[in-house]
Amino acid sequence: MKKLIIINGPNLNLLGKRETNIYGNLSFTDFFERVVNKYPNITLEHYQSNIEGELIDKLQEVGYSYDGIILNAAAYTHTSIGIGDVVKAIETPVVEVHISNTFSREEFRHQSYISPNARGVILGFGLQSYELAIQSFFD
């Protein structure tokens, strides 16, 4: 059984409440419950933090023992060299995910410090972006 983890960055704990015109009305907890039920043959976990160092610590913790990491670093995608460096350093493949199409938003969101070292990038499909990332580990 594959072991995957979804790691979410700042403000993603507010899904369902925050900018629903961009991120939708569903909370991540409700979405995650649906995904766990849809993929019973996967050990699926999730972690969220608003703190950059905690995200780096978690990536280091799971980066040598899991089959895959789905990372939505949120705003840190565009600012954190540290998160980009840890994605490069670990062995577990990382798929970068974004709920919105970051290229249709502000210019600063077009830069990612994660993408150069990610296995792939999925963005713009709402919460379904996470499911597409899960499916990418079963090719």
Catalytic residues: 23, 98
Per-position DSSP letters for 62-97, written without gaps between them: HTTT-SEEEEE-GGGGGT-HHHHHHHHH-SS-EEEE
* Residue 123, helix vs strand vs coil: strand
Task: Quote the CA–CA distance of 133 and 102 in Å, as a whole number.
Answer: 16
